[in-house]
Structure 1
Amino acid sequence: MGSGTEHEDRFRRVYAVNFEALLAYAMRRVDQPDDAADVVAETFLIAWRRSRDMPPEAEVRLWLYGVARRVLANHHRAGTRRERLGERLRQRLRNGVAVDPGSQVPERLTVRAALARLGELDREVLTLTCWEGLEPREAAAVLQVSPTVVRTRLSRARARMRNLVGDDLGPPGHVLDVMTVRTSEEGR
């Protein structure tokens, strides 16, 4: 494509010529002007990163629309996820109002103190599986270790937690339940 300056000059031209058209495109597809601005900014960021793939200027607007379309799809998916999460949180709050969160404080402090005594990898394996609800293979991907390592560490960490905390917090095998706030749905 030529020197860095030529590359920057071309990008500036593409930006100047196409900004308003892309903004109008985004404005017609989102509810809030701020969201349209975010879509356009993300589109041009991707265009900058992939500018070596940009077609000739006569075709670049269509290419930018394609990029913007994918950015909008991600934006809409994220918005849907946020709405679902917000509704789940509102439902949890409505269902959990009768529970006194203070009643679990001593147990939570005990569990946190026991967690602090575990090695870093054991603690991370345990919290990723218990708090985040990840499967051992998913935790392995996050930690960049093998699933076998995660399963071994998880078994050892659970046994160590039972030894550190004891069975005072509930039936054996359920000592980690106090690490999360239970809703009526989860309190099976």
Structure 2
Amino acid sequence: MGPLDERRRRFEEIYAACHDPVLGYVLRRTEDGHDAADVLAETFLVAWRRIDEIPAGDRARPWLFGVARRVLANHHRGERRRTALGDRLRTELGDAVRAADHHTESGVIAEAFRGLSDDDRELLSLVGWEGLDTGQIATVLGCSRNAVRIRLHRARKRFARELKNRGANAEPHLRRARIAEEEHA
């Protein structure tokens, strides 16, 4: 048996003996199964790379717990960095978008769109962004084509009212929306 075969056999023995205890250790310290799986995989990757350093017998499990502990610490630091970065970007981009939104026509349109109900935004998005016709929208929403036509008509009226309340001329936007819808019909 060659040196690589001996290393592989030893790793497989350690893995079989320690997988469940290390998994339990990791699961109790992570928020979800995906994170636990990542930490477990990284722990055993370190074990493979450092197979010659793993103590023999019953001391292998505490050694792996130590590796898992360090991997978890790195994982939690990474999560905090990602969360902090996401928060910072949301704040910076939100401020920039809001500042730009108040001074442009597209900003007024976006503001009016955000003023609609979730249902109206979804309906108008399915037409305008996804390019779906009334039959396809009926399938998405689980209703009849006629119900979609009625809801769409009402959503457009509410959108026009929102645009008008913000000082925008709604007619060119609604005309473009009707033309786009007719092209997909």
Cα deviations by residue, 1:70-118 (Å, 9 ceiling, x for unpaired): 0000000000000000100110122101237xx9xxxxxxxxxxxxxxx
Q: Which protein is richer in helix relative to its size?
A: 2
Distance (whole Å) between structure 1 residues aligned to residue 58 and residue 4 of structure 2:
21
| One-letter amino acid of the structure 1 residue matched with residue 83 of structure 2 | E
Equivalent positions of 1:17-32 (< 5 A) are: 17-32=17-32
Decide which structure has the larger Cα Rg and report it.
2
Equivalent positions of 1:1-188 (< 5 A) are: 3-97=3-97, 98-99=99-100
Superposition TM-score, scaled by structure 2 size: 0.52
Would you identify which runs of 4 or more consecutive aligned residues in structure 1 move more than 3 Å?
Answer: none
| One-letter amino acid of the structure 1 residue matched with residue 100 of structure 2 | V
| 3-state SS of paired residue (2:43) | helix
Distance (whole Å) between structure 2 residues aligned to residue 10 and residue 51 of structure 1:
8
| One-letter amino acid of the structure 1 residue matched with residue 55 of structure 2 | P
| One-letter amino acid of the structure 2 residue matched with residue 50 of structure 1 | R
Distance (whole Å) between structure 1 residues aligned to residue 75 and residue 57 of structure 2:
27
| One-letter amino acid of the structure 2 residue matched with residue 29 of structure 1 | R
Distance (whole Å) between structure 2 residues aligned to residue 89 and residue 68 of structure 1:
31
* Structure 1 residue 58 displacement after superposition: 1.6
Gaps of 5+ in 1: 104-188
| One-letter amino acid of the structure 2 residue matched with residue 34 of structure 1 | H
Distance (whole Å) between structure 2 residues aligned to residue 81 and residue 89 of structure 1:
12
Distance (whole Å) between structure 1 residues aligned to residue 25 and residue 12 of structure 2:
19
| 3-state SS of paired residue (2:100) | coil
Superposition TM-score, scaled by structure 1 size: 0.51
Distance (whole Å) between structure 2 residues aligned to residue 54 and residue 41 of structure 1:
17
* Structure 1 residue 3 displacement after superposition: 2.2
Cα deviations by residue, 1:119-175 (Å, 9 ceiling, x for unpaired): xxxxxxxxxxxxxxxxxxxxxxxxxxxxxxxxxxxxxxxxxxxxxxxxxxxxxxxxx
Identity of aligned residues (%): 51
Number of equivalent positions? 100
Gaps of 5+ in 2: 105-185
Distance (whole Å) between structure 2 residues aligned to residue 7 and residue 81 of structure 1:
36
| One-letter amino acid of the structure 2 residue matched with residue 9 of structure 1 | R
* Structure 1 residue 57 displacement after superposition: 2.1
- Over aligned residue pairs, what C-alpha RMSD do you find? 1.6
